Structure 1
Amino acid sequence: MIFLICQRNLWNLSVFQMSMMVQTGYGFTFVLPMFSLELSAISFIVEYNYISLKRIAYFYSSKRQPHQFTILVRGIPAPTGSSFSQTVENFFTEYHPSTYLSHTVVRRTSKIQSLINDAEKLYRKLGNLKARNSQQRFMRDGFLGLFGQKVDIVDHYEKKLEDIEDNVRLERSSLAAEEVPAAFVSFKSRFGTAIALHIQQGIDPTEWVTERAPEPKDVYWPFFSASFMKRGIFKIAVVVAYIALTILFLIPVVVVQGLTHLDQLETWLPFLKGLLSLTFVSDLVTGYLPSLILQLFLSVVPPIMILFSSMQGYISHSQIQKSACTKLLWFTVWNIFFANVLSGSALYLVNVFLEPKKIPSVLAEAVPAQASFFIAYVVTSGWTSLSSELFRLFPLLCSFMKRLFVGKDNDDDFEVPQMPYHSEIPRVLFFEILGVTYFFLAPLILPFLLVYYCLGYIIYRNQFLNVYASKFETGGKFWPIVHNSTIFSLVLMHIIAIGIFGLKKLPLASSLSIPLPVLTLIFNEYCRKRFRPIFKAYPTECLIKKDREDQNDPTMTEFLEKLATAYQDPALMPVQNSRSADGRSSPLLCAVEV
């Protein structure tokens, strides 16, 4: 959907730009921002409405899911003489007697999960040893396998698995007092769930805090063990680390800026003056090399953003990816666009935005000068990423190295990949920002972007249908990020246009362009009021219709019975790692499921 919208917008801008090239000077170009605003506004009203209807259609066509009947309750008051589980049951039985069904209290299971992870690693080692039929079944049990007596590797690992099982049983037996003041509370209907979710439960707003529960397989369990104070500290630490990373990333940006300006590079490295005088070398250094270096540095940022988001206390993988997507998008806009356009120190970049009156003129001078760099960036980052996505070279090389050195030739270790939304969506949206910003400054960028979006639609359609497996379903919740980035790109384009008209001493065009960002923001407010609520919660009309359908469904009783155990921690699931009790000697590891 994102690729289709960007294709339509870029195609409209390309055709309109070609028709305007017959005009001379900048006197007529004040129409361009207005026309692009009209196209984008009409397009996004239609698309926003279309996505909203698709979200409703998805809800009506979806099967009953546990997260539709469940909420997460945090800040449960400390019980006096009873457990958190009993406190939750008493509260919801009293205040939601007709809709309350069951609950599952969250427990601290980090130690158990660590033991289970160790067991899984040992199981894989045993599987690899038996699959290869290795003759080297003996090793020394001392330091690094160099000292101590010789032991059979398979028996040694199986004994370790048995010890881990004993430790898991011991930890589970002492788990009763490890309750966390949080619980998944399930209800008999979607409407009853919505009432409990959106109404304040207690007099104190810091107690009985409710939020929507994710899908059971989407729950991110590790952070439930963190206390309220720990989550607050981590959020502050993430903000500080994000700012520090943004500032530190200016170092490779400064290096790239030096490569795009030969005079600066010759000043830094005078011994390269003769080599840089060659046309081929200068074109390579100023055109392809800077964006390639920038792309290599940028490839390490998405995993860092995932790490930052996972430390913020989100309870689901989808929320972590959505937060990482937003972080990476604005990180890219600041460090790739503004830091390259406004060449200078970090202090200079900050000072530019502290003086709003100078922003249009500064951007009007700096943005057109970097047109060739961003055209090369579209080719190196966009086209190259599409080709690597199609062939999946990096996962292929990783799989080959594992089979070559580790000897993992067991198909059971294969895991179907998931679409990396947090890294792909920001890239697609950043190219849209470049297209909207440069379509009237450097129209040569539009064909490159159009090729990127056309190829991207074909390639990613294939990847979604034949390669990736969805680990969670958000129902279109990533769409507001697309809308907000488009609004930002329009406002940025208007500001640059105002600055250019001011530099060209065209007061009429500049005056007529000033209302455009205001109108764009008003349009954004209309979309936020008209369409955004459907992406936060489903309306009562939809919930009651689905509940009425379930009343005549004979399988509803069975579903409600299974709902009581849907949100059980995977660490509390039965796991069999060592020799089974019925005499079979092969090591077993039951799959951990929710």
Structure 2
Amino acid sequence: MILSALLTSVGINLGLCLLFFTLYSILRKQPGNVTVYAPRLAAEGKAQQGGQFNLESLLPTVGWVRKAWQLSEDEILSVLGLDAVVFMRIFIFRLWVHFCAAYVFTGVVCYLLYYEYEYISSKRIAYFYSSKPQPHQFTILVRGIPIPSGGTCSETVNSFFIENHPSTYLSHAVVRRTSKLQGLIGDTEKLYKRLSYLKLNNHTPQRFRRDGFLGIFGRKVDLVDHYEKKLQDLEDNVRLEQSSSAGKEVPAAFVSFKSRLGAAVALHIQQAVNPTKWVTERAPEPQDVYWPFFSDSFIKRWICVLVVFVACIALTILFLIPVVLVQGLTNLDQLETWFPFLKGILKLTFVSEVITGYLPSLILQMFLSFVPPIMIMFSSMQGYISLSQIEKSACIKVLWFTIWNIFFANVLSGSALYQVSVFLEPKKIASVLAEAVPAQASFFIAYVVTSGWTSLSSELCRLVPLICSFFKRVFSGKYGDEFEVPSIPYHSGIPKILFFGLLGITYFFLAPLILPFLLVYYCMGYIIYRNQLSNVYALQYQTGGKFWPIVHYSTIFSLVLMHIIAIGIFGIKKVPLASSLTIPLPILTLLFNEYCQKRFLPLFKTYPTECLVKKDREDVNDPTMAEFYDKLVTAYRDPGLMSLRYSRSGTEGLSSPLLQAAEV
């Protein structure tokens, strides 16, 4: 890629960034856009959806930047939890890496990794000590329950834990098959929210509309009466499905204990002689449970894991098509060979610069945008019991998919991709990377600008929710009755941040020109995501910072990759002494990683006995624990078995359960 093409790409994306910043500054102040740019604040009643229009709101301002910068870490922690703090700490940590890129790089990165790991570990312990008793701290999930002939799962679980854990066992909740109920209940809740909004705005013209597509077709009806009838029908269907699902037990149960230590002992000690029976694992938070998982048998889950593995490989291979297309666009000679009728157009300077500088990274970004939702779908098929586990698995999949398809496939597509023998001779890998990686420096600079700067700006403007909100207001007449407060997109945001970190680490001595562009990206991301965390995103679940080990391993991989490239560079430059002296670096880095695994990783898997006993002793003098135990008994009640009385009792929502959730 020539320099003028790179500058063209930078200019286009810089213009788009300024446009998005300006649009956001104006659109965020419009009364009708509150549910787009501050849905969490609107849901909490901290932002009003109405208001009078004034000309001043059409002037762009930068006040949101100051507010985002002044947002403290404690405020983020109190509202969105430790995972959000971890998400923002990633930006801080990369910032420091690239400021120090010209110095003793490996040593600086390892020091920063150790510091951040220690910091997040201490925050994790402090967060645990400061937290109130949570149901998942006292509960485990038990699977593979051997149900005797003529017995029930509930009786088996009760007798087993009374016999083997008599002093700590509290209660249990048997899991039942309710997957078909999830869609029905979701439709019922949406319809109830819509009906409630119409009743609160009884005299609005939105009440009388046509019942067809987009409110344009069909007969004109009173939507309140129409929705009440539909709600009654949906509730009847839910009750029928609940009755048929009531007896469909799954050999699994959430078992709760009187203390955290009691739950930890049951979790880590093998429960039966046969290790495939009474298998225990940590229970997620009640709101984090992924209930559809429990409808799958062991064989089906095992098959799904295999299918997902094959599907990921297939997706990786298919993604080579846009990669090859992108590489063709960066080479005008190759493009003219493929499409000879474009020779005249390609001779125009501006056209050639746009095609080679901006278009390749844009196409790659468009294709890559489909990957995170696909990986979420794949991870949900693998049998994870919680939404956080699904998102963490998807985060890892997206990260390695990005590293392979965006970095290695683009780097090797012009050389080693067609040389299968290089993969059979590991000695050649360093030299091949040393030749191929520097050649793609300008492409990755353009990629940082397009996928980094512009995507951050579009994240700020939230273009898709903005367009959806506009169409709802125009065609459906829905102003504020239906909007969803999104959760933080860890599975797509973290891989992108870490991939740019990989580019910075691998290119810091090959093409230092990339560092200012990365620095701008991390500064923009730090401000923009602080703004979004303050106004847009809501807490969906809490893992206690378990995303940080992914950051650590990715950085270690980036360092080792940089070392391999350095060894190859010195070899190509005929400096064997420098190449030999570089060999200890990856070894020392891996030893450092091993030390960090022993020192910090156990704290991210489970809390130590010292912490559990300390919290349990504090609970002895806590007068609210009796009330907590009462709530704990019903905490893991399957939401699909709750009675729905939306249409019968007006504002009343979930009522008494169809079944007793905890059989003691």
Query: TM-score, normalized by length of structure 1?
Result: 0.90
Specify the alignment match of 1:371 in structure 2. Answer: 441
Deviation at 1:164, TM superposition (A): 3.2
CA 1:407–1:238: 2 relative to 1, 3 Å: same
Alpha-carbon separation, structure 1, partners of 2:521 and 2:165: 53
- What is the aligned counterpart of 1:233 among 274, 299, 303? 303
CA contact (8 A) 1:123 1:577 kept: yes
Alpha-carbon separation, structure 2, partners of 1:283 and 1:570: 56
CA contact (8 A) 1:386 1:456 kept: yes
Deviation at 1:139, TM superposition (A): 8.2
Deviation at 1:127, TM superposition (A): 6.0
Q: What whole-Å deviation, never above 9, does each CA across 1:487-515 have from its counterpart, x for those lacking one?
A: 01001101111111111111111111122
Deviation at 1:350, TM superposition (A): 6.0
- What is the aligned counterpart of 2:653 among 575, 585, 590? 590
Deviation at 1:393, TM superposition (A): 2.2
- What is the aligned counterpart of 1:446 among 477, 501, 515? 515
Specify the alignment match of 1:210 in structure 2. Answer: 280
Alpha-carbon separation, structure 2, partners of 1:285 and 1:153: 52
What SS does the aligned partner of 1:565 have?
helix
Alpha-carbon separation, structure 2, partners of 1:324 and 1:99: 36
Specify the alignment match of 1:520 in structure 2. Answer: 589
State how 1:290-439 maps to structure 2 within 5 Å. 290-343=360-413, 348=418, 351-409=421-479, 411-439=480-508
Alpha-carbon separation, structure 1, partners of 2:654 and 2:447: 44
Deviation at 1:155, TM superposition (A): 4.8
Specify the alignment match of 2:341 in structure 1. Answer: 271
Alpha-carbon separation, structure 1, partners of 2:348 and 2:241: 70
Deviation at 1:402, TM superposition (A): 1.9
CA 1:432–1:185: 2 relative to 1, 3 Å: same
Deviation at 1:401, TM superposition (A): 1.6
What SS does the aligned partner of 1:416 have?
coil
What one-letter code is carried by the residue in structure 1 that aligns with 2:535? N
CA contact (8 A) 1:573 1:593 kept: yes
State how 1:118-133 maps to structure 2 within 5 Å. 118-123=187-192, 132-133=205-206
CA 1:344–1:139: 2 relative to 1, 3 Å: closer
Alpha-carbon separation, structure 1, partners of 2:396 and 2:420: 21
CA 1:157–1:451: 2 relative to 1, 3 Å: closer
Alpha-carbon separation, structure 1, partners of 2:466 and 2:321: 32
CA 1:279–1:69: 2 relative to 1, 3 Å: same
Specify the alignment match of 2:359 in structure 1. Answer: 289
Note if 1:568 corresponds to 2:637: yes
CA contact (8 A) 2:139 2:263 kept: yes
What one-letter code is carried by the residue in structure 2 that aligns with 1:439? F
CA contact (8 A) 2:305 2:381 kept: yes
CA contact (8 A) 1:123 1:589 kept: no
Note if 1:100 corresponds to 2:169: yes
Alpha-carbon separation, structure 2, partners of 1:139 and 1:44: 57
What SS does the aligned partner of 2:540 have?
coil
- What is the aligned counterpart of 1:556 among 625, 643, 649? 625
Alpha-carbon separation, structure 1, partners of 2:468 and 2:511: 40
CA 1:426–1:137: 2 relative to 1, 3 Å: closer
Alpha-carbon separation, structure 2, partners of 1:452 and 1:151: 52
Q: What whole-Å deviation, never above 9, does each CA across 1:183-222 have from its counterpart, x for those lacking one?
A: 1000000001100011111111111111111111111111
Deviation at 1:321, TM superposition (A): 0.6
Alpha-carbon separation, structure 1, partners of 2:167 and 2:609: 18
- What is the aligned counterpart of 1:12 among 97, 100, 114? 100
CA contact (8 A) 2:185 2:640 kept: yes
Deviation at 1:153, TM superposition (A): 6.8
Specify the alignment match of 1:168 in structure 2. Answer: 238
CA contact (8 A) 2:392 2:491 kept: yes
CA contact (8 A) 1:418 1:469 kept: yes
- What is the aligned counterpart of 1:258 among 307, 328, 342? 328
Specify the alignment match of 2:29 in structure 1. Answer: none
Q: What whole-Å deviation, never above 9, does each CA across 1:457-506 have from its counterpart, x for those lacking one?
A: 12212222332111111111000000000001001101111111111111
Q: What whole-Å deviation, never above 9, does each CA across 1:46-78 have from its counterpart, x for those lacking one?
A: 221111111111111111110000001111112
Deviation at 1:156, TM superposition (A): 5.5
Note if 1:470 corresponds to 2:551: no
Deviation at 1:266, TM superposition (A): 1.2
Alpha-carbon separation, structure 2, partners of 1:388 and 1:57: 35
Q: Give unmatched runs, 5+ long, in structure 1.
A: 17-34, 581-586
Alpha-carbon separation, structure 2, partners of 1:83 and 1:590: 31
Alpha-carbon separation, structure 2, partners of 1:449 and 1:139: 50
Alpha-carbon separation, structure 2, partners of 1:346 and 1:365: 10
CA contact (8 A) 1:139 1:151 kept: no
CA 1:210–1:250: 2 relative to 1, 3 Å: same
Q: What whole-Å deviation, never above 9, does each CA across 1:65-110 have from its counterpart, x for those lacking one?
A: 1000000111111232211011000000000000000000011112
Deviation at 1:129, TM superposition (A): 7.2
What SS does the aligned partner of 1:443 have?
coil
CA 1:139–1:209: 2 relative to 1, 3 Å: closer
What SS does the aligned partner of 1:564 have?
helix
Deviation at 1:243, TM superposition (A): 0.7
CA 1:473–1:139: 2 relative to 1, 3 Å: closer
Alpha-carbon separation, structure 2, partners of 1:382 and 1:112: 41
Q: CA RMSD in A?
A: 2.4
Query: TM-score, normalized by length of structure 2?
Result: 0.81
Q: What whole-Å deviation, never above 9, does each CA across 1:265-300 have from its counterpart, x for those lacking one?
A: 111112222322333222221111100111111111
Deviation at 1:414, TM superposition (A): 2.4
CA contact (8 A) 1:84 1:105 kept: yes
CA contact (8 A) 1:75 1:182 kept: yes
Deviation at 1:263, TM superposition (A): 1.4
Q: Paired residues, what number?
A: 562
What SS does the aligned partner of 1:470 have?
coil
Q: What whole-Å deviation, never above 9, does each CA across 1:522-561 have from its counterpart, x for those lacking one?
A: 1111111111111100100000000000001111111111
CA 1:512–1:136: 2 relative to 1, 3 Å: closer
Q: Give unmatched runs, 5+ long, in structure 2.
A: 1-88, 658-664
Specify the alignment match of 1:86 in structure 2. Answer: 155
What one-letter code is carried by the residue in structure 2 that aligns with 1:293? I
CA 1:157–1:7: 2 relative to 1, 3 Å: closer
Specify the alignment match of 1:43 in structure 2. Answer: 112
What one-letter code is carried by the residue in structure 2 that aligns with 1:554? P
What one-letter code is carried by the residue in structure 1 that aligns with 2:93? I
Specify the alignment match of 2:562 in structure 1. Answer: 493
Specify the alignment match of 2:186 in structure 1. Answer: 117
Deviation at 1:173, TM superposition (A): 3.3
